[in-house]
């Protein structure tokens, strides 16, 4: 199996049929609604973001139909996908509903994956679809309920991790109440896929109609940046060094801001005293998807990951990574994983290949300092290792 170079998509979403039906039953966002087009056709629309233009976005079978997912994969040469439910998950539900639905959706996703085709020419049986389960991360949920669902996910053989947003159970991911959860996830060896939904205060976007551009291009990555930084500052990675967190959209702006973060921590003795390492060190504990659409960005993110180990001392200085050259870029590539964000960002005109996918593949191919083995790793080898697919 190891000899085969697989293309593995770790950032690819679904609204499972049960979830899509649930969204159709709602008359406030998040919801799916039908409307009649000027030409008399009925179409479905998805309305999920805060302050979203009231027409939402078009939605169709590519969001819930497994055959559409497999067709998309075939069209782009994707061998394996690790599917996650799309935002906003169960965040908006009361605790009992969220708890029940989480259990049901995890079972649904397990069967979506376990009944998918296998890749036959490999020695081991590897499926084409694996998944990230869901937790009922909502206010007033009990720790027992959360741990019960972690246990459920860890027993479902095709679920390899958990997708979550940034709110935790209402107070963010640095909430002390989540400590038992991080411990249980680390113990179960599940990967957390941290994904944005809320963006940031939309008053920053001004009055011009820029559609979905500002919330998606900037709000999403800023949200991931803030949530991850709060996790770092709370000392979660010191207390749970085995916790594996995969950041959407290449970690947002955290790589660009990590030295500034380290400097701000350095100048704040209260925060500094909580951490065992320089803030830059923790970026080397994280995983990053390669959904950045540009070679320079991927190269930069891998540099920042690859230098992290040099910052293990809490009093490291900026020149700690001197002399690493392209070596850091090679080291960092081992924590970056190809993704597509399918079915979001579809081509506007009928086309065989999706531009959003081709751009991410070309970006990987064009990173200076990554040789064939680093590119193969980012395209799939890292995912096989991180998600234990060889022994799946
Ligand atoms: N828009 C979303 O709402 N979610 C994604 O994952 C991508 C785009
Ligand atoms: Zn996404």
pLDDT of residue 1: 45
Classify 251 in phi/psi space as left (phi over 0), alpha (psi -120 to 50) or beta: left
Residue 166 CA to residue 91 CA, distance in Å, equals 10
pLDDT of residue 231: 98
How many Å is the maximal CA-CA distance in the chain?
66
> Could you give the domains of the chain?
8-391 (3.20.20.140)
Q: Please report how many Cα atoms fall inside a 13 Å half-sphere around the Cα of residue 298, on the Cβ side.
A: 31
Q: Where are the alpha helices (DSSP H) in 161-219?
A: 179-187, 213-214
Instruction: Give ion ligand 2 contacts, CB < 5 A.
Output: 341
Mean pLDDT for each consecutive 10-residue tract of the chain (392 residues)? 80 98 96 93 90 84 98 98 98 98 98 94 82 98 98 98 98 98 98 97 90 93 98 98 98 98 97 97 98 98 97 92 94 98 93 94 98 98 96 61
pLDDT of residue 202: 87
Neighbouring residues of 276: CB distance < 8 A, sequence distance ≥ 6: 235, 238, 314
pLDDT of residue 383: 98
Vertex 220: Cα angle to 169 and 338 (nearest 5): 100
What order of strands is seen across the sheet that includes strand 57-58?
Answer: 31-36, 42-47, 57-58
**251 class by beta-carbon count within 10 Å (0-12 exposed, 13-18 middle, 19+ buried):** buried
Q: What is the pTM of this model?
A: 0.97
pLDDT of residue 392: 55
Beta bridge partners of 84: 13, 132
Ligand 1: list residues with CB < 6 Å: 13, 48, 86-87, 216, 341, 344
By most ligand atoms within 8 Å of CB, the mutation choice from 86, 195, 246, 340 for ligand 1 is 86
Residue 75 CA to residue 344 CA, distance in Å, equals 16
By most ligand atoms within 8 Å of CB, the mutation choice from 220, 342, 345 for ligand 1 is 220
109 within 8 A of 160, measured Cβ to Cβ:
no
CB atoms within 10 A of CB 138: 24
Return the SS3 of 46: strand
| φ/ψ (deg, to 5) at 161 | -175, -165
pLDDT of residue 3: 52
273-312 residues labelled b (16+ CB within 10 A) or e (exposed):
eebebbbbbbbbbbbbbbbbbebebbbbbbbbbbbbbbbe
């Amino acid at each position: 199996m190891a000899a085969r170079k697989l293309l593995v998509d770790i950032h690819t979403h679904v609204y499972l049929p049960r979830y899509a039906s649930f969204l159709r039953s709602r008359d406030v966002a998040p919801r799916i609604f039908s409307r009649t087009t000027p030409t008399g056709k009925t179409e479905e629309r998805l309305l999920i973001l805060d302050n979203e233009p009231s027409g939402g976005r078009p939605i169709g079978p590519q969001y819930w139909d497994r055959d559409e997912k497999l067709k998309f994969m075939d069209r782009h040469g994707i061998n394996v996908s690790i599917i996650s439910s799309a935002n906003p998950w169960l965040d908006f539900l009361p605790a009992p509903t969220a708890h029940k639905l989480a259990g049901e959706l995890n079972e649904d996703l397990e069967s979506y994956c376990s009944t998918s085709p296998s890749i036959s020419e490999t020695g081991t049986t590897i499926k084409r679809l694996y998944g990230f389960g869901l937790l009922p991360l909502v206010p007033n949920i009990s720790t027992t309920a959360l741990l019960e669902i972690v246990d459920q996910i860890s027993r479902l053989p095709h679920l390899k991790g958990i997708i979550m947003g940034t709110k935790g159970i209402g107070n963010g991911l640095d909430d002390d109440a989540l400590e038992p959860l991080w411990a249980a996830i680390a113990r179960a060896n599940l990967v957390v896929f941290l994904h944005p939904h809320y963006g940031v205060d939309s008053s920053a976007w001004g009055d011009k109609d820029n559609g979905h551009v500002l919330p998606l291009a900037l709000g999403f990555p800023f949200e991931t940046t803030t949530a991850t930084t709060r996790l770092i500052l709370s000392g979660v990675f010191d207390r749970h060094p085995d916790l594996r967190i995969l950041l959407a959209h290449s970690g947002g702006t955290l790589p660009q801001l990590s030295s500034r973060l380290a400097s701000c921590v350095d100048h704040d003795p209260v925060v500094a005293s909580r951490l065992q390492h320089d803030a830059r060190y923790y970026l080397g504990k994280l995983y990053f998807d390669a959904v950045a659409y540009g070679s320079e960005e991927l190269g930069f993110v891998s540099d920042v990951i690859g230098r992290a180990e040099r910052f293990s001392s809490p009093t490291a200085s900026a020149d700690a990574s001197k002399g690493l050259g392209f070596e850091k870029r090679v080291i960092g590539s081992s924590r970056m994983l190809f993704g597509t964000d399918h079915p979001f960002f579809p081509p506007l005109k009928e086309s065989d290949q999706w531009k959003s996918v081709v751009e991410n593949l070309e970006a990987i191919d064009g990173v200076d300092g990554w040789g064939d083995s680093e590119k193969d790793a980012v395209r799939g080898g890292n995912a096989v290792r991180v998600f234990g697919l060889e022994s799946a």
